Amino acid sequence: MITSIIIFILVLSVLIIFHETGHFFAARKAGIWVEEFGFGLPPRVFGRKIGETIYSINLLPFGGFVRLHGENTEEQIEKPKRAFLNKNKKTRAAIVCAGVFMNAILAVICFAIVYSFSGIPRQTDNVIIVDVSAGSPSQAAGVLVGDTVKKVDKLEVTNSKDFINFISEKKGKKTTVEIDRGGQTKKIVVIPRVDYPDGEGPLGVTISNIEVYYPPIWERPFYGVYYGFKDALFWGKTIIVGLYDVIRELFGGHIPKAVSGPVGIFAITTEAAKLGILSLINFVGILSVNLAILNIVPFPALDGGRLLFIVLEKLIGRKVIPKVEATIHTFGMVVLLLLLVAITVADIKRLIVAGSISGFIDSVLK
């Protein structure tokens, strides 16, 4: 449990530090005074001033922030030329979006690392065995995961459709399947079933035409970035669709079942870590895409909410009164914290009912 907690905190730290570093460096580049760089949400537990910025650790480890000089109010601005509110709209918008951009970059980096070490998937004409069902004719005959099917009774197999059709015609008959196993050709005699469990098929194998390709080491980072970018786009689309469903359920007065808070993230992080470092890195990439998209939602207190006020300023030709905007963002933060508490309570209930972390994850994914 202690190890799981440490891993969970490290995962959150990486996500938050990347996000807030985006705001931090964008603000510094624009000449804005960064008063505080905080991990977690207040109250402050520890803080140390380095240069002109306080670096703090706060009690609630579910977020982070960069406090910019003159960010929310025109009062008590000591350095007008270095105040956020006094910068032009383009500069403020860039600073607001910088955190989202950094999370997108982190996601691509994570997926690129995974692909660089686990190989690049590519489509081929080969029919590859990716799973063999227990008690099936294929298991009894000695078929193994990773075998590549070449022929069925002297008929060449060039794609998955061929294989399925050939085997379907051989139900109940002794059939010779020629496979390639590690460069060696083997012939296996098997009798495809006439009756079989749902989802297994006559032979009880799962096939794919996707193989894992390991390019030269120097090429892997480039392949990794390319496929990492594609993965980031895929998860971005998936999360946007899921977010739409969540908002619809919220407006219907229900706590979305597909949503998890800190407890849920802790549970999934724990399970991902059990599967190995690459699985954990991949999960961090998914979380980073999630964080990027959620933060750009135009809701008060989120980056998207702040961006919305900059857009409104452009449309109406003048700034929204800073005190009014600050009040709205504070209200938004309260709403988000209350929602976080509600989701956490729901997660705890589901965890208790499930009786285990794996059971909890199954209930979340249903």
Task: Look at residues 213, 246, 267 and tell me which one is the last residue of a structural domain.
Answer: 213
Judgement on whether residues 135 and 258 belong to the same structural domain of the protein: no
335: which 2 tokens? 């709403």
Structure confidence at residue 361 (pLDDT):
60
User: Is residue 156 within a helix (H) or strand (E), and if so which, with residue range?
Assistant: strand 155-156
Q: What integer is the mean pLDDT of 256-279?
A: 78
pTM: 0.77
> Which 8-state DSSP code applies to residue 131?
E
Judgement on whether residues 249 and 354 belong to the same structural domain of the protein: yes
Judgement on whether residues 130 and 183 belong to the same structural domain of the protein: yes
Structure confidence at residue 34 (pLDDT):
94
Structure confidence at residue 218 (pLDDT):
83
In this predicted model, what pLDDT tens digit does every residue of 31-58 receive, in sequence order? Answer: 999 999 998 878 899 999 999 999 999 8
Residue 263 inside a domain? The answer is yes
User: Is residue 191 within a helix (H) or strand (E), and if so which, with residue range?
Assistant: none
Structure confidence at residue 130 (pLDDT):
87
Judgement on whether residues 106 and 36 belong to the same structural domain of the protein: yes
Structure confidence at residue 183 (pLDDT):
85
Residue 89 inside a domain? The answer is yes
Residue 218 inside a domain? The answer is no
Judgement on whether residues 84 and 139 belong to the same structural domain of the protein: no
Judgement on whether residues 98 and 66 belong to the same structural domain of the protein: yes
Q: Which long-range contacts (CB under 8 A, 24 or more apart) does 139-143 make?
A: 139/204, 140/190, 141/177, 141/188, 141/189, 141/190, 142/188, 143/177, 143/179, 143/188, 143/190, 143/203, 143/205
Residue 188 inside a domain? The answer is yes
Helices (H), 276-321: 277-295, 303-316
Judgement on whether residues 247 and 113 belong to the same structural domain of the protein: yes
Q: What is the distance of C-alpha 71 from the center of its chain?
A: 30
Q: Is the pLDDT of residue 186 over 60?
A: yes
> Which 8-state DSSP code applies to residue 126?
E
Residue 14 inside a domain? The answer is yes
Judgement on whether residues 250 and 311 belong to the same structural domain of the protein: yes
> Which 8-state DSSP code applies to residue 181?
E
Judgement on whether residues 114 and 126 belong to the same structural domain of the protein: no
Top mean pLDDT of 85-99, 223-237, 327-341 is at 85-99
Residue 135 inside a domain? The answer is yes
Judgement on whether residues 16 and 65 belong to the same structural domain of the protein: yes
* Separation CA 7–CA 1 (nearest Å): 10
Task: Look at residues 162, 182, 213 and tell me which one is the last residue of a structural domain.
Answer: 213
CATH of the domain at 189: 2.30.42.10
In this predicted model, what pLDDT tens digit does every residue of 112-166 receive, in sequence order? Answer: 898 888 888 888 878 888 888 888 888 888 889 888 999 998 888 888 888 888 8
Active site residue ranges: 20
In this predicted model, what pLDDT tens digit does every residue of 273-327 receive, in sequence order? Answer: 888 899 999 889 888 988 888 888 888 888 999 999 999 988 988 888 888 888 8
CA dihedral 292→298→300→305, nearest 10 degrees, is: 80
Judgement on whether residues 37 and 169 belong to the same structural domain of the protein: no
User: What percent of the chain is helix, strand and coil (3-state, nearest 5)?
Assistant: 55, 20, 25
Q: Is the pLDDT of residue 329 over 80?
A: yes
Residue 62 inside a domain? The answer is yes
Nearest residue to 123 (alpha-carbon basis) of 211, 207, 215: 211
299: which 2 tokens? 């809701």
Task: Look at residues 182, 213, 244 and tell me which one is the last residue of a structural domain.
Answer: 213
Judgement on whether residues 192 and 299 belong to the same structural domain of the protein: no
Residues spanned by the domain of 70? 2-118+223-365
Top-confidence residue, 110 or 249: 110
Residue 319 inside a domain? The answer is yes
Give the number of domains in the chain: 2
| Residues 209/160, Cβ–Cβ less than 8 Å | yes
